[in-house]
Structure formats: C-alpha cells, structure tokens
Structure 1
Amino acid sequence: MTGLLRQLGLSKHGAAIYLALLHHGEGTVAEVARNSRLLRPLVYRALPDLVDRGLVGKVLKGKRTCYAALSPERLEDAWEETGRTFREALPKLAEFYATQAGNPKVVVLKGHKGIVAVYEDILRTLPRGGLFYRYSSGANQRKQHYYVPRNYRERRDAKRLERYVITNKMTASRKSPRLERSMKTIPTGSDLFVYNVTQLIYGPKVAFVDYNTETAVIIENPIIAKFQERLFKLLYQRL
C-alpha cells in the first residue's frame, strides 16, 4: 500500500503517516510518530504536505492539536491528476526516445534472474505468431527449466511463437518433435556448443547468454538483429 501511495505523489514518510492515521485514528504528533514509527521531526516535516493535499485535517482538543486522516476518496483526484500529467508528458518522452532510436541499446543482466529476464523479454517483444532464432547450447539442458520464467512454455505456445534452432546432435536427440520448432544440428566434429553459450535473435534484438558466469547481454538494434538473422539463415541452409 505504501508503494501505491508513493506513486500518487506522497513521500515515504507521508505515506507512512497517512496509513498510521487510517489504522490507529487521530492523534497528536507524538502519537502519530509512535504509530508510524517515525521520529517527531520527520512527522512535523511531512504533515503540512498531507494537510495541503486534503488527506489530513487538524482537530483541536482543548490545548492539544491532533491530526486525523480524511477520506481516501480524495486520492482519486490525485490519481486523475497523475494520469493527466503523464499524458501531457508522454509526447515529450516519446520525442526523447525517438532521438535515441538509431543508437544500439545494450543491457547487461547478471545471475539466474538476468537469464530469466531474457526469455521474458522474448515473450514481451514478439507479437502473436512471431519468430525467433536460437543457437541452443547443449550444456544447460539439465537446467533448462531453471532459466526460463514460470509458465514460459505455456505462454510461448499461447502466442504461437515459432523458432528455428541450431544445436548439436546430443541436444537434438533429447527434444521431441514440435510443429512450431524447426531444428538442425551441426556436424559432430565441429561442435560449437562446448562453450555453454546461447544466442537468441528475436525482433530487433539479439541476446547472448553465458551459462558459465550466468551473464546475459541484450542488444537492441534492428540492423544488428537483421545481420545476425541472415547469418543464422545462411548457416541453417547449409546444414
């Protein structure tokens, strides 16, 4: 809930105070500090913003000033304002993005989650019925389920993604035939997959996965991707 309030523009401390007031009811600064687990100076600094936003009101009880949370429905206005601000900023953001469109974008990902992110990116990038190309490393086959997102195969098949695969004969022998997968193997004497590295070409992107160090690199550039795609097709035709 704190994350949602922060998306609506509240500070970290402001969100904690507002939630504490909703949960515990009105209170003095000392009580709010205790319930929100914040120091008093932080509460003093955050309260004026909450009052200005109409989320917190002052309640006078004799000589004491208490603070009370007002209706969360007021947050709806903040949400609509955030949406308007975003819509106004979107054309400018798109303009910034367009100026970088010609430059390759390179992302380096580390660890198990980094490799999983590559396969997740394939699902996000390709349209329904899309096609990707893969040099498939045989050394990682025993851990293949470990390196793909949850329900990856179901989601891939639901989008009807087709793939062309070049691998070694041992890996190919472990694969059952599938209509959406075309596979060829390289000659036994020139096995390129002892390095335990996989390359994937999909849409405007090329990804390299090093399973030895659990490092992945995604390069987004249509020209580089097309060049790698043509090299793949040339090798595929020769096998």
Structure 2
Amino acid sequence: MKKQAIINNLEKLGFSKHEASVYLALLKTGITSAGEIIKETGLHRNVVYSTMDKLVREKLVIESNKRGVKYFKASNINRILKEKERQFLLAQNIVPKLKNIKNKTGVDVLIYEGIDGFQTAHREAIEQMPKNKTIYVLMAGGKNFYEFMGQELKYFDKIRKQKNNKIKLLASHARESELETKKTKKRTNIDIKYLPIDFINPIGSSIYGNKVLLFIYTQNPIVISIDSKDVAKAHIEQFKMFWNNADKK
C-alpha cells in the first residue's frame, strides 16, 4: 500500500494528517530524535514537536531521554486496535444513554436524494427493523423500486431474511405487470394485494417499525424518512384499511 493511502486510512481512524505523517516516519526510522523526523517528514519543527507530544500523551509514541537528548519511537502498533476497541466499548455504553435522553415524543425527519440516497434510506431502515416484524408497503414502486435499488436489493433481502421480516405490499393494478415477475417471485415472504387503481402513482410509502419512508418516484428519487411511533401507527392503520379492501392476485 502506498504511503499516501496509509496516511488516508490513518486519518479515517482519527489521526490528523501531521500525526499520520509523523507516526509513519517513526515506524520507518525506529528510535530516533525529533531532528530526524523533521528531515523525514519535511514538517516545521514546531509542528513535529507538538505532534510528538500529542502522540506521546495518547501512548502511540514512547519518549526516552539519553544524555539530555529526547528520543522517540512508535509504540506497539496493536495500540491502535486497543484504542479503537476502547472507543467502541465507550460508544456501546453511551448510545443507550443518549437514546434515553432523546425526546421520545419528537419527530425526526431526514431527506434522501438520488439513487444513492434511495438505497441508503432502505439500508438504514432494514438494519434498524426489529426481528419478526412486518414491513408495510403502500403504493409499491414496481420497476422504479427495482431500478433504484439495483444490487443493493440483494443485501436488503439478505438482512430481511435473517430477521424474518415479512412484507405486505399494496400496489395499484397498473403496477401488476411490473410486480408479477420472476424477480418478485424469487423474493421470499412477500404478500401482495392490488388496489382498483388504473394509474401509476409516483408517490408511495413503507413502514419499518417506528420509521415511515415516503417516496417520490421521479428520475432523481426523493425519500423522506419520518421516525415517529405515532406517525407509523397512523400509517399502519391506514394501510390495514386499504389491505382489507384490496384484491389478492
């Protein structure tokens, strides 16, 4: 892997650009003085010294003193893994507390645009969906849904199968030819009914637990995500009313 690629990956792990450069230089040179690191990195001496101090505080670099001269070396590289494990455990501990603080009666609204946004909205929804629960789809998008999901649909259905999430899908009769296909029939645990509507509605919705996704099926699709128990409950009641009066294929 090239040096710049390694620096980029270290930045993703939380290193600053200077920290990544200094850390790599220390790995390369072994025990060395700050002067050698300045030569190796080309960074200003003040930048190198302040960066080294921070890396020492974070225990990623070990500092020693020989005859009044400071020497530095990178600590065991597994220290990076241990630090990330510590941060992960901290996140696991704090996230439930943050959820308890969050206003339970509030409504969280997010807007996703484009095909990437369409796929992201579905991926997040299925990942957050409780096990053994039903997904309700009103005014299914038919070929538009398949086109926008692309290969992401395989991941979506894989997670859905693992969680045993059934889909109840309501569509207009105008979408029937788009849904009664081999592609749909290969997807397991889907129950479809049709409403006596002979036009294609460019707007649809899905309910995933307490999350409602509203779709606008234009060339550049838009998804509005509403996270609210009350809103989801109202949509499910509306869905069931339509479901009881719809035709099954």
**If the length of structure 2 is used for normalisation, what is the TM-score?**
0.75
Q: Give the CA RMSD over aligned residues.
A: 3.3
Question: CA separation of 1:87/1:185 partners in 2, compared to 1, >3 Å: closer, same or farther?
Answer: closer
What code does the residue aligned with 1:19 have?
L
Give 1:116's match in structure 2, choosing from 116, 119, 132: 119
In 2, the alpha carbon distance for the partners of 1:226 and 1:70 equals: 54
Q: Which residue of 1 aligns with 2:205?
A: 199
In 1, the alpha carbon distance for the partners of 2:81 and 2:158 equals: 37
Q: Which runs of 5+ in 2 are unaligned?
A: 1-8
What code does the residue aligned with 2:113 have?
K
SS in 2 for 1:206: strand
Q: Which residue of 1 aligns with 2:178?
A: 171
**If the length of structure 1 is used for normalisation, what is the TM-score?**
0.77
Give 1:43's match in structure 2, choosing from 42, 48, 59: 48
Shift of 1:134: 0.9
Question: CA separation of 1:208/1:148 partners in 2, compared to 1, >3 Å: closer, same or farther?
Answer: farther
What code does the residue aligned with 2:179 have?
A
Shift of 1:227: 0.3
**Equivalent residue runs for 1:72-221 within 5 Å:** 72=77, 78=83, 82=87, 89=94, 93-97=98-102, 100-135=103-138, 136-141=140-145, 143-146=147-150, 148=152, 150-167=154-171, 168-174=175-181, 175-176=184-185, 180-189=189-198, 191-193=199-201, 195=202, 197-212=203-218, 213-221=220-228
Comparing 42-51 with 176-185, greater Cα deviation is found at: 176-185
Q: Is the 8 A contact 2:127 2:159 kept in 1?
A: no
SS in 1 for 2:193: strand
Shift of 1:129: 1.9
Question: CA separation of 1:161/1:72 partners in 2, compared to 1, >3 Å: closer, same or farther?
Answer: same
